Amino acid sequence: MPDYSFELEIGGCVAGVDEVGRGPLAGPVMAAAVVLDPADILEGLNDSKVLTAKRRAALYAELMSRAHVSLGIATVEEIDEHNILRASHLAMVRAIAGLPMCPDHVLIDGNMVPRGLNLPATTVIKGDGRSVSIAAASIVAKIRRDAVMVDLAQQHPGYGWETNMGYPSKSHKEALLRIGVTPHHRRSFKPVHNILYQDK
């Protein structure tokens, strides 16, 4: 279970940052930055992927009222222009910049500090299972991105985005072939690229 030990060891105002949406064929990549109150750490914070949807939603609601939270987005166009890694880093930097305060230190899930982040930072591999601040960020990012994909699913029915969230499920790939490519698909990703530019 993640705990607050990274934050305590660093000291000061520490933000946890995580992103969601690197793997999908459609939709933006989104990152969240969260600064927890050291005197009010929510119980049950964990990697969003291991939480039930009900528990994730409950923790999200608590975080929105009891922590400082910011969201950063990189669009499909930015993903195609820069590549998914660079776009993920853009989303992270935007999330941190949107916080109501400038943190003294940033804990980043993964093994790379985003380019353009001009703050002291520490990378934490599998950080969403080790740091409660990163775990909180993973919950916020997933909840918000899932909501975007459910909304896009209503605008573009047939791809199953309300359940696959844009990831390359079998039904999503079949729908790509059957219905075609939408403006929300990542053209630089091979399954989409191949459909757009296949030999006639």
| pLDDT tens-digit profile, the chain (200 residues) | 999 999 999 999 999 999 999 999 999 999 999 999 999 999 999 999 999 999 999 999 999 999 999 999 999 999 999 999 999 999 999 999 999 999 999 999 999 999 999 999 999 999 999 999 999 999 999 999 999 999 999 999 999 999 999 999 999 999 999 999 999 999 999 999 999 887 54
Question: Does residue 37 lie within any of the structural domains?
Answer: yes
How many distinct structural domains can be found in the chain? 1
Alpha helices in 11-102 (DSSP H): 53-66, 76-82, 84-97
Q: Is 58 helix (H, G, I), strand (E, B) or coil?
A: helix
- Angle formed at CA 93 by CA 88 and CA 99, multiple of 5 degrees: 130
Name the β-bridge partners of 20.
30
Is 104 labeled as ligand-binding?
no
* b/e sequence 174-193, b meaning 16+ C-beta within 10 Å: ebbeeeebbebbbbebeebe
Question: Does residue 55 lie within any of the structural domains?
Answer: yes
Question: Does residue 49 lie within any of the structural domains?
Answer: yes
Q: Residue count of the chain, please give it.
A: 200
Is 199 labeled as ligand-binding?
no
Host domain of residue 87: 5-141
Is 18 labeled as ligand-binding?
yes
Question: Does residue 110 lie within any of the structural domains?
Answer: yes
